[in-house]
Chain A
Amino acid sequence: MNNTIEIRGLTRRYGKLEAVNGLNLSVRAGCCYGFFGRNGAGKTTTIKCLLNLLRPTAGTVRVFGLDPQKNEVAVKSRLAYVPDAVAFYPWMTVRDTLEYFASFRTHWNRDIETDLLARFGLTAAQKASTLSRGQKTQLALITAICPEPELLVLDEPTSGLDPIVRREFIETVIGAYQSGDPENRTVFVSTHLISEFEGLIDQFTIIEQGCELLTMEADHARDRFKKIRARFAQTPPPLRLPCALRVTLNGREAEILANGNSEQLIAELESLRPEEVRCESLSLEEIFVASRILTPSVQ
């Protein structure tokens, strides 16, 4: 098994509530994997099962080919995790916190630590309790990157942060983390701020009500799902385009969603002599928003 993460038929119940229901997912090494879903879709539950913070009700989870329940230390020593809300011991300073985290690791890159402290403008002597939310996330990112783990698990890392901190966060993941040993640097990120991670994502899964809705390569998805806008001289008659995913008419303008057949749809539209036809890809965020319309036609 060469995949960094391999999830088969994962189910996790809280009492009667099925948070995750038969989820399958594979993340290859060196890939940046996006895990998208609405609030309550089961993202955090899945991530907690990866980290053995929760036991699956059914199904198997493998990280580096190992079972996180049986080989907890072996798995955890090779990954790092940044949760959405980070908490540090309030009495520790930034320096204390870094030493504390480093004491659990066999490897700690001091150069990266110095670089990132300077980049984020964090003062080593400052108490963790006085850090702002953005600074706490920055500190958490430093503790995650300095051990240079093979897998970086990010759970809603940028929610609640200001745009500059979010930008720095992503640049740090790309720069300080990913470029060290790119073949062996895997990122698994759950987020609903998809547009910010758009350039980073190689592959993604959209999860809804604990089930996988759509899994695709990002480039392939953008190639396949397109938005065609056509403007006509007069309000056109109702457009009969059976192979379109969705047709929205708005006065003289029509918006058509295409699933891999944009050329055919454009040809059909051309026969109606529109004034203008434009075609663009859906962004990952638009794919996420429209995923319920998009998916029946994929399977």
Chain B
Amino acid sequence: MLFQIDFQSGKPVYLQLVDQVRYAAAAGALRPGEPLPSIRPLAEELRVNRNTIAKAYTELESQGVIETIPGKGCFLKDNHSPFTKAVRQKLLFKEIDQAVVTAHHLQVDREAFLAMIKERLDYFERKAAVAEDEGSKTTPRRTP
């Protein structure tokens, strides 16, 4: 998995890592049961403090995205929302609102915006399907 850190994005580095793992999980680049890179090599590669990676993994664990198996590492969880439906909705509304505001400023109207959302949903579904396909061909799926 490829991480990219941008110190100028205005987002704390650990949150960038959190988002990228979540993105990879949604796009099927990382599948349930697959291990995340271990802290030390990833820290060396990205040249960031190992505490930053540890913080990102702790955050992902508390969000229920990954689980840590002592002595083995971190793995993507199967069904990863520990939140109730109401909380999930609230979290998602916040993100959708942001996109709605941006769309408004860019003069993207309602129909075009909805079409874009559909397009992105299709995109992720296709990507996940392709990843799943290739995965079943090459690596056997393992569960921690």
Contact = CB atoms under 8 A, between A and B. Distances in A.
A and B co-occur in one complex: yes
A121 interface: no
Interface of A: 30, 32, 167, 170-171, 174-175, 178-179, 182, 196, 198-202, 219, 222-223, 226, 270, 279-284
Interface stretch (B42-50, B57-65, B77-85, B91-99): B42-50
B49 A202 contact: yes
A281 to B, nearest CB: 4
B12 A202 contact: no
Contacts of A281: 7-10
Contacts of A179: 39-40, 43, 50
A197 to B, nearest CB: 9
B49 A32 contact: yes
Contacts of A174: 40, 43-44, 47-50
B100 interface: no
A223 B8 contact: no
A170 to B, nearest CB: 6
A170 B49 CA distance: 10
Contacts of A222: 7-8, 10, 12
B3 to A, nearest CB: 11
A196 B48 CA distance: 10
A282 B6 CA distance: 11
A118 B91 CA distance: 50
B40 A199 contact: no
Interface in B1-59: 5, 7-10, 12-14, 39-41, 43-44, 46-52, 54
B105 interface: yes
B50 A280 contact: no
Contacts of A219: 12-14
Interface of B: 5, 7-10, 12-14, 39-41, 43-44, 46-52, 54, 105
Those 4 A-B pairs whose CB atoms lie nearest each other, nearest first: A199-B48, A280-B8, A219-B12, A281-B10
B51 A280 contact: no
A25 B40 CA distance: 29
A232 B72 CA distance: 54
A194 to B, nearest CB: 11
A178 B7 contact: no
B43 to A, nearest CB: 5
B6 to A, nearest CB: 9
Contacts of A196: 47
Nearest to A170: B47
Contacts of B43: 174-175, 178-179
A281 B40 CA distance: 27
A175 B51 contact: no
A199 B12 contact: no
B12 A182 contact: no
A178 B10 contact: no
B47 A200 contact: yes
A99 to B, nearest CB: 28
A186 to B, nearest CB: 11
A202 B51 CA distance: 9
Contact of A175 (B12, B13, B44, B54): B44
